């Protein structure tokens, strides 16, 4: 109701201003110029406005880069450097072209503003110019795409070795589960048809490989070890998003998707980095002034998280799973303490 009243008030205010402008126009002397044709004075004024807008546009752009650069998150995977380098090269090229073109558009609007008695030159086409401004973008885009394919291949075409850690990420509204293979090193068969009771991921209980599988609510990864992720969805389309690891993959019902990466920065290391210390400090200063948070909720500590990047339902915003990147020794200790699927079913 409040929003409707605001809209009505704004509409009435607009109508009032419009009517006042009509009254003002009618009150002008008869000899005043009310022609709809632009004069030299009008064109001069509009040309200067174009130049002023150019200064405003560039000033806003510089300010945005300066003020928003603090939100750039550091990469924490082996391919993150290549990913970020491709991003900054693309951004640099776009900004270079944008700065030149925006300046020329606004400068020409001023330089070639309309003047009484002056006619524009009719210039039909120029094959040479058209070839140049076509071939340059083609070559540039081809180079960027080829460069990007190398990073894409590194993420998508994981060469499994004996040391590769294979983890299944299972998505459902509105949570995640991680499944690790046990001592046999093989994930057991799973299908949504087998979902029943505590068997939330649909593991085939008659498959011996599934008995030592480990299902967890946290994703633990050993640092500097290649990880291959296999994704399944129970219900709708989700998207597994690892922002600090520069990776994302759709999780599609009825099929398995996959990608891989090698984490390079532990949770402890990034938590103690200069960037994160400053970021957490700023967040906690804001949280201290939030009266809606309890005393135990005001101290924030950074953790990696797996997020859903597809709008999958009403609680999509809260679909996340904590990621812990740790040393190989810490990972082995943690995984040895987890309950296997066989032990879970035996208890029930």
What distances in angstroms separate CA 181 from CA 178, 212, 230, 255, one per listed residue?
A: 10, 7, 12, 20
* Distance, CA of 309 to CA of 241 (rounded, Å): 6
| DSSP code for 178 | E
Tell me the Cα Rg of the chain.
30
Cα–Cα nearest to 86, from 156, 155, 152: 152
The residues near 244 (Cβ < 8 Å, ≥ 6 apart) are 73, 74, 75, 76, 77, 80, 265, 270, 304
Residue 258 bridge partners (DSSP): 230
Domain borders along the chain are 165-341
* Angstrom distance (rounded) from CA 242 to CA 249: 9
Q: Which residue positions in the chain have pLDDT lower than 50?
A: none
DSSP string of 126-137, one letter each residue: -HHHHHHHHHHH
Q: What pTM does this model have? A: 0.77
- Over residues 136-192, the pLDDT tens digits come to 989 999 998 988 888 788 778 888 888 889 999 999 999 999 999 888 888 889 888
Cβ count near 339 (within 10 Å): 11
Distance CA(249)–CA(240), nearest Å, equals 5
DSSP letters, 31-83, are TS---SSPPHHHHHHHHHHHHHHHHHHHHHHHHHHHHHGGGPPPP-BTTHHHH
Whether the link from the prior residue into 174 is cis, omega within 30° of 0, is yes
Strands (E), 186-313: 214-216, 219-222, 227-233, 238-242, 247-251, 257-261, 304-308
* pLDDT at 76 (0 to 100): 93
Instruction: Say if residue 176 is exposed, middle or buried (CB neighbours under 10 Å; 0-12, 13-18, 19+).
Output: buried
Q: What is the CATH number of domain 165-341?
A: 2.60.40.420
- Residue 30 has a pLDDT of 56
Q: Are strands 165-172 and 175-180 parallel, antiparallel or unpaired?
A: antiparallel
């Amino acid at each position: 109701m409040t929003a409707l009243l605001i809209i009505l008030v704004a509409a009435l205010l607009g109508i009032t201003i419009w009517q006042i402008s009509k009254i003002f126009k009618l009150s002008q002397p008869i000899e005043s110029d009310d022609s709809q044709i632009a004069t030299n004075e009008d064109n001069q004024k509009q040309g200067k406005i174009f130049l002023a807008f150019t200064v405003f546009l560039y000033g806003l752009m510089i300010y945005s880069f300066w003020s928003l650069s603090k939100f750039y998150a550091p990469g924490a995977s082996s391919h993150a450097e290549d990913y970020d380098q491709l991003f900054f090269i693309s951004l640099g090229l776009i900004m270079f072209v944008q700065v030149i073109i925006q300046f020329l558009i606004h400068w020409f609007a001023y330089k070639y503003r309309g003047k009484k008695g002056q006619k524009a030159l009719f210039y039909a086409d120029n094959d040479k110019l058209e070839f140049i401004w076509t071939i340059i973008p083609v070559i540039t885009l081809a180079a960027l795409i080829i460069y990007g394919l190398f990073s894409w291949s590194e993420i998508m075409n994981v060469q499994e070795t004996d040391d590769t850690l294979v983890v299944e990420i299972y998505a459902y509204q509105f949570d995640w589960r991680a499944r690790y293979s046990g001592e046999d090193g093989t994930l057991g068969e799973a299908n949504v048809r087998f979902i029943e009771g505590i068997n939330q991921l649909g593991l085939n209980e008659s498959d011996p490989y599934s008995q030592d599988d480990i299902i967890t609510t946290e994703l633990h990864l050993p640092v500097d070890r290649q990880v291959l992720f296999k994704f399944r969805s129970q219900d709708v389309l989700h998207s597994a998003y690892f922002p600090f690891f520069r990776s994302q993959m759709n999780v599609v019902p009825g099929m398995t998707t996959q990608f891989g990466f090698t984490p390079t920065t532990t949770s402890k290391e990034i938590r103690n980095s200069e960037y994160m210390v400053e970021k957490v400090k700023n967040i906690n200063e804001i949280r201290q002034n939030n009266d809606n948070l309890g005393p135990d909720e005001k101290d924030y500590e950074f953790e990696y998280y797996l997020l859903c990047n597809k709008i999958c339902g009403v609680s999509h915003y809260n679909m996340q799973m904590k990621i812990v990147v740790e040393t190989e020794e810490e990972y082995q200790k943690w995984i040895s303490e987890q309950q296997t699927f066989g032990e879970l079913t035996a208890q029930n």
